[in-house]
Amino acid sequence: MIDFIFAMIAIAATSNPSDPHQSQTAQAEPQLEAPAASSVVIGEGVTIGGATIIEGTPVDTADGLQLELAVVPDGVVAEPQIPTGKFTTATEVKPILTATKANWVGLRDYGGNDLVYVTHLWAWRCGLSGMALSINDGPMKDIPLPECHLEYASPNAILEGDGLPYLTYPQGSVERITVQIVYDDLSQDTATFSGSQIRIP
């Protein structure tokens, strides 16, 4: 047991520099890095990864994402990224949505219609600023997000007044869905699914 304690002290000592100025420098360096390839910076124009793009023009980023600028809501600004423990920031929800990308949307044949469910994205919407869908490679359509319910312990809860978390299309018409989301730090992500990949009972 004593050996374990000494090993932990040795690891802690090697990971913490003795000079406090070195520690501050090391922490400041990541802030100087360029934005991630899929991040959006609002300023003089919109920059995605370092390339300025023109509104309405899809852009390929360095990591292969094709982003549609029209999805970014007008007047949106990056929100402070202070974790609350209630999953109301991009910092908190982005790791979850990245890990669960395959579940962003669902497709159900029900009542003579194709229902495209966005329940999963609604369940993490408090860290998002916008969401859009393209059906069968058509134009991106903005999908309004319900308000966050900050007065409750679970702000992302879907309440009766929020509406239904699906879109209705004619039966058998949905073959391909592209989803693009804008996080509240203005970074974006996108995913494309065939109907068979996201079909639910």
Domain boundaries along the sequence of the chain: 2-198
Q: What is the mean pLDDT of residues 83-110?
A: 92
Q: Do 43 and 29 contact (CB within 8 A), yes or no?
A: no
pLDDT over 90, % of the chain: 53
Three-class secondary structure of residue 9 per DSSP: helix
Q: With a cut of 60, say whether residue 2 has pLDDT above it.
A: no
**Sheet with 40-43, side-by-side order of all strands:** 40-43, 45-48, 51-53
Q: Do 1 and 8 contact (CB within 8 A), yes or no?
A: no
pTM over 0.75: no
Three-class secondary structure of residue 108 per DSSP: strand
Q: With a cut of 80, say whether residue 10 has pLDDT above it.
A: no
